[in-house]
Structure 1
């Protein structure tokens, strides 16, 4: 009796929470089977196949549940909008961070849409999986995922037969992950999401178009980058290039100094530029690392020659030197007056629950 009571309690609470979402589905039968599907996903039992879930929460109705999932046509847009509205109510605001990241679903077969051998963060290596671009609103220690978009690898984009069999419209072309992320950011902002900073790892941060897209949208960002990214000193000047005696005339002005890699730029800083900061209490004490920041102009302006770029946008170049000696590099678009503590906090906010910190 007690077990039955607990089962009824969680289902009742789930029904209350899900009701605003279910109301966004147009047809009563869809509302019913969506509710049943949620019971199957969140309830007891390890196996989450349609047959296994139906046997637990809807005995004898396997075909109806399967029809809802694979055949019934419904618009996810209203549900996605409701999710953003609920997340905004819980954690949204100017002090909230929007974390852009990858979410991988490990698969053994090859028929799930988008499955391919690709990097899987869950395993820390390349594996057969689906990759999704995820957006998460995070404030203090509370994260709420508000967006997931499936990434379609080239192996799927270029295989018309495979796409046809999986019912992927042939007019849909594959997009890089950073483009999917920008599209999702536009969607959640239109739905009412408010946040103060966008964070992402180097998979996204290395794309100049992604950084430019965030800047065009008036969004502050703190993103990872690789050590070979070129930067210029903040006071670099553009000078008229001297006329050539022969050959084509020079199209672009010349920077007053050459660009350097991020790694070399940080290596040239004095040791005094690094400060040890702690951003959160861990299970074994404060989480700490040494941070240094320098104002730069990113080498992502117009292309000059030999794959060299003119100075582009101004940014903070931040280095995190971990206690193990490993170095991580970031570019942030925070204002010039931003403190090192604030820059480090923005960077660490990507790891949910790590945005609280103190400095010493």
Structure 2
């Protein structure tokens, strides 16, 4: 008779094999991006290190966990090492989409902020971030998730440079921002990632995002690239119907009571979540040049209503083929997958912990974190497929965090923690902290003398 412990042991074996296969597969896919063996091996080690059980992840803690005498090799790897992180990004996207492939897959875009203590970090500025819950000193980056019935993972990212930051030549030089990088809005960054996804031939049909990405230009770009979309828009968004042009709230007020449909949109700890939904046919306003608007597909405004508060949300949608309200609701709800990916990449793979300040270092740290998160996502998908849910035991599915806890004792290398190594790093840290303190004291004395 199979017990709960036996089942967990079986799942642990499956997870270990799935991790080993996924890790080897991705590292083989990106190997061409590392021209030297030492950089290729360091990339492998850092990817594993991102998922080790550490209180904090940065070059110091990773170097210590990986058994190195100092962080210099890792710092060089991130800032000046000879490897192509843009090509590696493309290989990561192609590999992830291949592992989770689905012709009906959804590309989800959203931004997230990482709090910073200084404007010395590339792109750091006082700006709004939903992750911070308001305006704060942070970096903001736009990310793209690939989501299918098999799983989901982040596959691309673009660092957002506020206009004042992007125009500051001194800060650009100090942080080694390439000359070709100029100010771009968040929708423009999303459009660049959509172009890359199409050029890579990723199997995906849909594109979705929140209100930031519901503007006309990005919707037109999506259609030009052949993506159907379901994008949130603001309440004052105006749409044209067969009888005139109205604001979204005006159209919602005209919906008959019988036209609303209650649909389940997910489940939480308190049970299933339900909302009321309605579908309104509208005329497309984003037809690309050269296409006939009359034969270019189907445009809709989808309205969501909270069951109790009656709060309304609006979504502009377009599909080349006829599509049901249920399908559109599923696409709209897929948008929340990227929030799960942010939580996983930050909480499990150190996406927001890098303490890097330069452009190249940020690009490479975020990419290594995405490597780790993508391998974990694919491992999770393979494990879930292999073990199924037919064991009949009172056992909840393992979460990503639970899966990682198992992998840390079965597949991932253990952080080095022997006595001599710990003492070496204690001495190293204290010495460098002393040097930093003395440097600050000397600088303060110089500036105080100059002021008098």
Structure 2 distance, partners of 1:283, 1:139, is 23
Q: 1:227 aligns with which of 235, 239, 249?
A: 235
- Partners of 1:217 and 1:345 lie apart in 2 by 22
Number of the residue aligned with 2:107: 98
2:323 corresponds in structure 1 to: 338
Aligned pair in 2 of structure 1 residues 328, 214: CA closer, same or farther (>3 Å)? same
Provide the rounded CA distance (Å) in 2 between the counterparts of 1:100 and 1:51.
32
Tell me if 1:131 matches 2:140: yes
| Bigger fraction of residues in helix | 2
| Alpha-carbon separation, structure 2, partners of 1:84 and 1:321 | 35
Query: Is the Cα contact below 8 Å between 2:108 and 2:335 reproduced in 1?
Result: yes
1:50 Cα deviation (Å)? 1.4
Query: Deviations for 1:182-215, whole angstroms, at most 9, x for unmatched residues?
Result: 111121222231112111111011x210011111
Q: Find the residue that maps to 1:260 and give its secondary structure.
A: strand
Structure 1 position 273 matched with structure 2 position 259:
yes
Residue 138 of structure 1 deviates from its aligned partner by 0.8
Task: Decide whether the 8 Å contact of 1:92 with 1:137 is kept in 2.
Answer: no
Aligned match of 2:71: 62
2:39 aligned residue (30, 37, 53):
30
Structure 2 residue 83 is matched with structure 1 residue 74: yes
- 1:319 counterpart = 2:328: no
* Deviations 1:259-281 (CA, angstroms, capped at 9, x unpaired): 22111111122222211111334
Q: Any conservation in 2 of the 1:300–1:313 contact (CA below 8 Å)?
A: no
TM-aligned CA distance change 1:313 to 1:288, over 3 Å: same
Q: 1:96 to 1:171 in 2, by over 3 A?
A: closer
Say which of 191, 213, 224 aligns to 1:216: 224
TM-score (norm 2): 0.64
Of 252, 270, 277, the residue aligned with 1:284 is 270
Question: Do structure 1's residue 120 and structure 2's residue 105 form an aligned pair?
Answer: no
Q: Which residue of 2 aligns with 1:191?
A: 200
Contact 1:295 1:336 in 2 (8 A): no
Q: Distance in 2 between matches of 1:19 and 1:140?
A: 24
| Structure 2 CA distance for aligned equivalents of residues 150 and 353 of structure 1 | 17
Are the counterparts in 2 of residues 142 and 352 from structure 1 also a CA contact under 8 Å? Answer: no
Unaligned ranges ≥5, structure 2: 1-15, 288-295, 340-452
Instruction: Give the SS at the match of 1:175.
Output: coil
> Is the CA contact 2:142–2:158 (under 8 Å) kept in the aligned structure 1?
yes
Q: Which is further off, 83-92 or 12-21?
A: 12-21
Gaps of 5+ in 1: 1-8, 237-256, 302-311, 355-360
Residues 232 and 296 in structure 1, CA contact (< 8 A), matched pair in contact too:
yes
| Aligned length, in residue pairs | 313
> Within 2, Cα distance between the matches of 1:23 and 1:327?
49
| RMSD of aligned alpha carbons | 2.7
| Residue 331 of structure 1: how far off its partner (Å) | 0.5
Greater CA deviation, 270-279 or 337-346?
337-346
- Measure, in 1, the Cα distance between the counterparts of 2:73 and 2:322: 60
> How far apart in 2 are the matches of 1:90 and 1:22?
15
Higher normalized strand content (fraction of residues): 1
CA 1:52/1:115 → structure 2, altered by over 3 Å: closer, same or farther? same
Aligned counterparts of 1:347 and 1:195: Cα–Cα separation in 2: 15
Q: How does 1:120-269 map to 2 (within 5 A)?
A: 120-140=129-149, 142-205=151-214, 207-233=215-241, 235-236=242-243, 257=244, 259-269=245-255
| Whole-Å separation in 2 of the counterparts to 1:322 and 1:299 | 28
1:23 aligned counterpart, secondary structure: helix
SS of the equivalent of 1:187 reads: helix
Change (3 A) 1:47 1:17: farther
Q: Tell me the residue number matched to 1:247.
A: none
Residue pair 2:26, 2:92 contacting (<8 A) in 1 also: no
**Highest relative contact order (Cα 8 Å, sep 6+), 1 or 2?**
2
Shift of 1:334: 2.3
Structure-1 separation of matches of 2:210 and 2:197: 20
> How far has the Cα of 1:326 moved from its partner?
1.7
| SS in structure 2 at match of 1:342 | helix
